[in-house]
Amino acid sequence: MTATVHHRTCPLCEATCGLEIEVADGAVRRIRGDRDDVFSHGFICPKGSTLKQLHDDPDRLRRPLVRRDGVHVEVSWEDAFAEVERLLVPLRERHGADSVALYLGNPNAHTIAGAVFGRPLIQALGTKNLYSASTVDQMPRHVSSGFLYGNPGAMPVPDLDRTDYLLMLGADPLESNGSLCTAPDFPGRLAAIRARGGRVVVVDPRRSRSAEAADEHLSIRPGTDALWLCALAHAVLDAGTAGPGSHLDGLVSGLDALPAALAPFSPEAVADHCGIDAGTTRRVAAELADGRRAAVYTRIGTHTAAFGTLSSWAGDVLTLVTGNLDRAGGMMWATPCHGRPPVPGRPPGGRGFRTGRWGSRVSGRPEVRSELPVAVLAEEIETPGEGKVRALVTVAGNPARSTPDSARLERALADLDAMVSVDIYLNETTRHADVILPPPSALEKSHFDFAFYGLSVRNVANWSAPVFPAEGPGEHEILARLALIVAGQGAAADPEVIYGLIGAQLAQQATSQEGGPLAGRDPDELLAEVAHEPVPERFIDLMVRSGPYGDQFGAVPGGLSMERLRAAPHGVDLGPLEPRAAEVLRTTSGTIELDRPEVLDDLRRLAAVLDEEPADGVVLVGRRHLRSNNSWMHNLEVLVKGRPRCTLLVHPEDAERLGLTDGAEAVVRSAVGEVTAPVEVTDRMRPGVVSLPHGWGHDASGTRLEVAARHAGVNSNMLTDGSVLDPLSGNCALNAIPVELAPAP
């Protein structure tokens, strides 16, 4: 049979690589990088080609499961939706909207359904108990952008292709392929910086692969990134070379507050805490401030800490005071093709950003972006009283492995009155569900990177068609039907109701943008023009046509539209990042605000750390691996075969002192739990720091993960303490966890 070739974007991580997929006899024959992709130019990592194995995985759920007498059995889609209605509707009527919690996992950022249909489900549930993976790994970045720019979605990214100096903390893109920074072939882009005479400096307590590929590796004590970044900013101010640059004239406020706020953090004061001598700190500060194009990229290791928001804030402030914010080669904002178009002459600013509009019921943790910290989910389920969480809906999430103190959360999940999960696997979380609704495989749905075009190091647009037809309802239909059920419309309600609401909302937004290119147009006219498109493409068409590169429904001939995206299987290149600070600012002052009281208060909390002796015990950090994707791709033999990867990395000095030997097992104890893991002795670790990867621990009963169970590993979140959070963001402190080690008996 003749093979057909399909081109699509890989949906597995943030790098958005183009893939070339050869299909014959109804099966994938080969997957390789698409050399003509306008962004990735043929780059692919080992995970990219496993879309075939993922699609073919016999353990992947194809039909819904309902729990009957403690056993999950296959049922029809209609029976499954009827069961959801039977479980959730009376419970919600009896106990109120907050009795049903929602948890959205990381893969929602990688799907059209997650981007467009998550909101109607959230609105229909109307619950304060909204949780997501954001408070596991990225909320500090949102909050620092909220405080600085008034816009928690405006996260600047390093302009990798033009920078001459990249300072990278808590990031290992040679393993992760980038995070909150969309850059296919991140390794190649780093190599290109060095090849054009630039410099890459990696700061990490482990000599990671990214550190080995850099010009310089600085080993820092875990949990002290905020101190060190503040010290760098302090040194820049000290040297008298600070300044945001004339391009930000009139767009910065609170600069005068910085010297006093950063005064406690001299390079000398933080040196012992961070483990980096003052001379090195001053030298790096001078390199950043010497006029070259420089970017400061702080990522997950710095954000998943007790001062995560301050780390993110200080990284951006450092970029700003060295003149590198919103400048080519510095830190810049992408212009997503589905976002709002700029309005010439519109003054910068907006409604500002605040948190804490409500608090969690049990411990009063403040809301952030309408979410509560996932670390409080267990106590909200366990604690009796009005507003207790009695039911949980999860969408593409495995909080039983991804969130802190997960043994406690698993006990709580087992106590729920009802649980409904949208997931392709019967995993450690969904084994507690009463109903599991499996969306199509990645090859059975279309793709468009709503989330990552806003975090991209180059502006691009790429829509992918499904390779195979879906066996069941699309993910968007599943979410729409769930929304209708909890809204009381019944299991048989027509999802077109939700589609109509989404379309009307988008058309209204496009035509009501004051001074915008579609201002004053009739929303129904726009809807009529996209009505021929199927769902969800109808909504992509609406957004890109009214977006910054759009055809504005005929007003800009040749502009972006679904039609143009369909005709461009390798994507559309929209050019390098452009300065746009004034467009992204949503602070009430219309400026970048450096003196937000919440941040200044937290700087005082950080300064108090300097009054204490540097801790001298062993601490635990996480790590990434190129062949892992959090917890959910360990069921593919091709990715887990070979040497076990879930090992405890220990420095030789620590191993000798603690009696640990390479290949033997160690007991690791924290304040909340204990695991036993094989030891790997390596001088890659900083002495006093050990590392376990996350997402493992696949030995639970009642799952259907045959391959993963054979490579179970241990769950590092048995050790993470749910009570230690970054107070500004509610993010878990997954790094710098004090632990005790001993040889396993």
Q: Does 12 bind ligand SF4 (CB under 6 A)?
A: yes
3-state DSSP call for residue 598?
A: helix
Residue type present at position 369 = R
Give the Å distances, CA to CA, from 177 to 192, 474, 571. Answer: 15, 28, 20
- Contact between residue 650 and residue 683 where contact means Cβ atoms under 8 Å apart: no
Closest distance of CB 44 from ligand SF4, Å: 5
Q: Does 457 bind ligand SF4 (CB under 6 A)?
A: no
Residues 6 or more apart whose CB falls under 8 angstroms from that of 492 comprise 78, 81
* Binders in 37-56 for ligand SF4, by CB under 6 A: 44-45, 47-48
Element (H, E) at 421: strand 418-422
- Tokens encoding 230: 């503040």
**Torsion angle defined by CA atoms of residues 203, 206, 211 and 212, in that order, rounded to the nearest 10 degrees:** 150
Residue closer to ligand SF4, measured from CB, 13 or 460: 13
648-650 and 572-576: which strand pairing?
unpaired
Element (H, E) at 68: strand 65-68
Q: How many CA atoms lie within 13 A of 47 on its CB side?
A: 23
Residue closer to ligand SF4, measured from CB, 44 or 235: 44
Instruction: From 15-23, 487-495, 511-519, 559-567, give the range in contact with ligand SF4 by CB under 6 A.
Output: 15-23
Residue closer to ligand SF4, measured from CB, 177 or 591: 177
- Contact between residue 271 and residue 142 where contact means Cβ atoms under 8 Å apart: no
294-298 and 618-621: which strand pairing?
unpaired
Residue type present at position 20 = E
Instruction: From 9-17, 391-399, 429-437, 486-494, give the range in contact with ligand SF4 by CB under 6 A.
Output: 9-17
Closest distance of CB 40 from ligand SF4, Å: 7
Residue closer to ligand SF4, measured from CB, 179 or 703: 179
Instruction: From 6-14, 73-81, 166-174, 242-250, give the range in contact with ligand SF4 by CB under 6 A.
Output: 6-14
Closest distance of CB 31 from ligand SF4, Å: 9
State the CB neighbour count (10 A cutoff) for residue 361: 20
Residue from 6, 7, 13, 648 binding ligand SF4 (CB under 6 A): 13
Q: Does 110 bind ligand SF4 (CB under 6 A)?
A: no
Q: Does 10 bind ligand SF4 (CB under 6 A)?
A: yes
Q: What residues does 30 pair with on adjacent strands?
A: 22
Residue closer to ligand SF4, measured from CB, 221 or 299: 299
- Tokens encoding 447: 């793709």
Residue closer to ligand SF4, measured from CB, 39 or 425: 39
Binding string to ligand SF4 for residues 683 to 722, with x set by CB under 6 A, is what? Answer: ----------------------------------------
Q: Give the span between the Cα atoms of 271 and 677, in whole angstroms.
A: 33
Residue closer to ligand SF4, measured from CB, 400 or 455: 455
Residue closest to ligand SF4 (Cβ): 48
Number of residues that bind ligand SF4 (CB under 6 A): 12
Q: Does 177 bind ligand SF4 (CB under 6 A)?
A: yes
Residue closer to ligand SF4, measured from CB, 177 or 631: 177
3-state DSSP call for residue 668?
A: strand
Residue from 17, 183, 418, 436 binding ligand SF4 (CB under 6 A): 17
Q: Give the span between the Cα atoms of 39 and 182, in whole angstroms.
A: 10
- Contact between residue 231 and residue 314 where contact means Cβ atoms under 8 Å apart: no
Q: Does 179 bind ligand SF4 (CB under 6 A)?
A: no
Closest distance of CB 642 from ligand SF4, Å: 18
Closest distance of CB 213 from ligand SF4, Å: 16
Q: Which of 26, 689, 134, 83 is nearest to 370 (CA)?
A: 134
- Tokens encoding 113: 């359904």
Q: Does 586 bind ligand SF4 (CB under 6 A)?
A: no
Element (H, E) at 247: none
Closest distance of CB 601 from ligand SF4, Å: 38
Contacts to ligand SF4 by CB under 6 A: 10, 12-13, 15-17, 44-45, 47-48, 177, 184
